[in-house]
Chains A and B, each alone.
Chain A
């Protein structure tokens, strides 16, 4: 009954191990297709936010709430984690499993740092300003958009931890290389979304 998997564990890996198998290619195209859909999904949340951001119902407005220091720190954390996952994929293409793991681990830690900042930020708004999801239409739109992005970061971290634990003893092969590559693409996309969040929500919110 057991199938022959020896083709997945070759002596010499091909140049792009993530796209060497049909399954790898399907994962690659499938993830990009998913990201196309995610673009539309985030766009609708951005649209809702832009439409409702002045509907504060007498509650705090964006100029009163946002602090640029924390947002800058979060941006740096996420941007750097994007670079570290580039490093991880660089080592994957050089078939260096340990270095890939090291850089993916750093990516995860930076992601956790970002998430911790976001939780602190939300807690600060709720306790110090009484600004919640139910405060105003602005509050609902803000938490829906930024929280949905934070949820994506959380999902990405869980995904990464799952990958790292599951494949720790396997070494790099044609079976798991596509998995690491799809995670990396997803992670970059999360950073792209954050670029628009810090621009549209925080910076434009500060400008007025």
Chain B
């Protein structure tokens, strides 16, 4: 009987390791995607192949996606019990948006 409970512990340990391996694979994929995005961003600017009107929004979207990968995969924000961190960061992003909007808009006119 006691052997059984030991087995359970071992199983859950290997299960956990398996889970964290899968997690690692996801993180590697997000790293690869971030490298690809960075390459595309630099290539777009270096080759000057796309007009300015399109380049800036595309660059900006790619930066936001990269930041998302960092927060959700590298910093584990997609895991449970991360409601408070998400609140803090999105609160910060909201205040950041207001600050940016204020400073940019005031200098346009």
Contact = CB atoms under 8 A, between A and B. Distances in A.
B103 A188 contact: no
Main secondary structure, interface of A, reads: helix
Contacts of A185: 75
Contacts of A46: 100
B15 to A, nearest CB: 11
Contacts of A32: 84-85, 88-89
Interface residues on B, range: 35 or more
Interface string A66-79: 00100110011001
Contacts of A83: 27-28, 31, 74
B59 A36 contact: no
Contacts, number: 125
Interface in B61-95: 62-63, 66-67, 70-71, 74-75, 81, 84-85, 88-89, 91-93, 95
A192 B66 CA distance: 8
Interface string B1-39: 000000000000000110010011001100100110010
B70 A195 contact: yes
B66 A195 contact: yes
Contacts of B62: 199
A82 B67 CA distance: 12
B30 to A, nearest CB: 9
A93 to B, nearest CB: 6
B99 A199 contact: no
Contacts of A43: 95-97, 99-100
B94 to A, nearest CB: 9
Interface stretch (A97-105, A113-121, A169-177, A200-208): A200-208
A111 B80 CA distance: 30
B67 A196 contact: yes
Interface residues of A, number: 48
Interface stretch (A47-55, A128-136, A151-159): A47-55
Contacts of A40: 92, 95-96, 99
A141 to B, nearest CB: 10
Given A50-B103, A199-B62, A208-B52, A39 B45 contact: no
A162 interface: no
25 contacts: A19-B81, A32-B89, A36-B91, A43-B95, A43-B97, A47-B102, A72-B38, A82-B74, A83-B31, A83-B74, A86-B74, A90-B27, A94-B17, A188-B70, A192-B67, A192-B70, A192-B71, A195-B66, A199-B60, A199-B62, A199-B63, A200-B60, A204-B59, A207-B45, A207-B56
Interface of A: 15, 19, 28-29, 32-33, 35-40, 42-44, 46-48, 50-52, 68, 71-72, 75-76, 79, 82-83, 86, 90, 93-94, 185, 188-189, 191-192, 195-196, 198-200, 203-204, 206-208
